[in-house]
């Protein structure tokens, strides 16, 4: 398949809260610092209206690149759970039949830890066959199911799709998309360009990401496969004007520039 048959779908992933889960389970649910392939393919599946048992074969081959426009900060949420029927929670013990027993004395509320990224902004680029990417872009703009960024409680802020880029490579797309950071982050950077961390799926990459899902079926559970990735930095324009050049500093001997050793008479 030639490059002209390929297209890149660019997504803006921004929200007050995001959570891109890794292998953590049970009472401690962590988040990765960047969106995972599992989470993004789940978003696309929801946009198309696929059920959890649907095949992911056509999506697994998509190449993914992620740019960190605003890393956000880590948030730990105080989260409780209980049995909706008012029954005591299950314990870690099992009876002779292998069934979990209820807590004794009865315990009705448990505490779990949920981790989120707050105020983060990412640009995700997915590369694949042009006809498939056109279909996915249309689905993201008109989703069947509500879209979320990692967890159902994390709806995106603003439109998700930034459009299609036919015949473009992942790295080129991540370099060309304008900086998507919020106004507060923009006010902290005065230069005309900013360097942003990025991760690109690359068969020759020297790192492995374990985040490729085989299914979203709750009955069987998800097994995650590996993919090779490459880390890099991309330079993007900030939109700021070139700052005025400061006047040259003249030292005591009429020399330009700052000379800290002049105070010592050297």
Domain ranges of the chain: 3-73+118-244
Question: Does residue 263 have a pLDDT over 80?
Answer: no
Q: What phi, psi does 70 have (nearest 5°)?
A: -155, 105
pLDDT for residue 256: 55
Q: Look up residue 75 and give its DSSP letter.
A: E
Question: Does residue 182 have a pLDDT over 60?
Answer: yes
Cα–Cα distances in Å, from 258 out to 243, 246, 262? 20, 13, 9
pLDDT for residue 181: 95
Specify the residue for token string 């902290």.
Answer: 188
Nearest one of 259, 9, 260 to 129, comparing CA atoms: 9
- Distance (Å, rounded) from C-alpha 209 to C-alpha 235? 24
Q: Which alpha helices (H) appear in 142-240, and where do they start and end? A: 170-176, 183-187
CA atoms within 13 A on the CB side of 77: 17
Cα–Cα distances in Å, from 34 out to 38, 67, 80, 249? 12, 9, 26, 44
Tell me the two tokens of residue 229.
């990735």
Q: What phi, psi does 232 have (nearest 5°)?
A: -155, 175
Question: Does residue 123 have a pLDDT over 60?
Answer: yes
Question: Does residue 203 have a pLDDT over 80?
Answer: yes
Q: Which of 85-94, 164-173, 184-193 has the lowest average pLDDT? A: 85-94
pLDDT for residue 46: 96
**pTM across the whole model:** 0.82
Q: What phi, psi does 150 have (nearest 5°)?
A: 100, -50
Q: Which residue has the higher pLDDT, 245 or 171?
A: 171
Percent of the chain with pLDDT over 70: 89
Q: Is 139 exposed, middle or buried (0-12, 13-18, 19+ CB in 10 A)?
A: buried
Write out 103-117 in H/E/C secondary structure: CCCCCCCEEEEEEEE
pLDDT for residue 100: 87
pLDDT for residue 78: 85
CATH number of 3-73+118-244: 3.30.70.2660
Q: Which residue has the higher pLDDT, 116 or 97?
A: 116
Question: Does residue 255 have a pLDDT over 80?
Answer: no
Mean pLDDT across the chain = 89
Report whether 13 contacts 28 (CB < 8 A): no
Question: Does residue 194 have a pLDDT over 80?
Answer: yes
- Distance (Å, rounded) from C-alpha 116 to C-alpha 20? 8
Each residue of 18-33: pLDDT tens digit?
999 866 666 788 899 9
């Amino acid at each position: 398949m030639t490059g002209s048959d390929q297209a890149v779908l660019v997504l803006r992933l921004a929200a007050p809260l995001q959570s891109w889960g890794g292998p953590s389970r049970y009472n401690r649910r962590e988040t990765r610092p960047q969106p995972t392939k599992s989470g993004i393919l789940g978003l696309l599946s929801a946009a198309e209206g696929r059920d959890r048992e649907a095949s992911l074969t056509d999506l697994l081959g998509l190449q993914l690149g992620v740019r960190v426009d605003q890393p956000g900060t880590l948030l730990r949420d105080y989260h409780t759970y209980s049995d909706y029927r008012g029954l005591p929670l299950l314990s870690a013990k099992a009876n002779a039949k292998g069934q979990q027993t209820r807590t004794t004395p009865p315990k009705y509320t448990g505490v779990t830890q949920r981790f989120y990224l707050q105020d983060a902004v990412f640009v995700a680029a997915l590369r694949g066959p042009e006809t498939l990417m056109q279909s996915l872009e249309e689905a993201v703009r008109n989703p069947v199911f509500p879209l979320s960024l990692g967890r159902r409680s994390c709806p995106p802020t603003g439109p998700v799709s930034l459009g299609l880029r036919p015949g473009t490579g992942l790295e080129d797309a991540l370099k060309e998309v304008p900086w998507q950071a919020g106004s507060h982050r923009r006010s902290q950077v005065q230069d005309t360009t900013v360097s942003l961390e990025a991760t690109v799926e690359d068969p020759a990459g020297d790192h492995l990401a374990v985040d490729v899902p085989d299914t979203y079926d709750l009955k069987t559970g998800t097994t995650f496969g590996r993919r090779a990735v490459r880390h890099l930095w991309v330079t993007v324009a900030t939109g700021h004007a070139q700052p005025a050049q400061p006047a040259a500093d003249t030292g005591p001997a009429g020399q330009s520039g700052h000379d800290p050793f002049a105070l010592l008479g050297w």
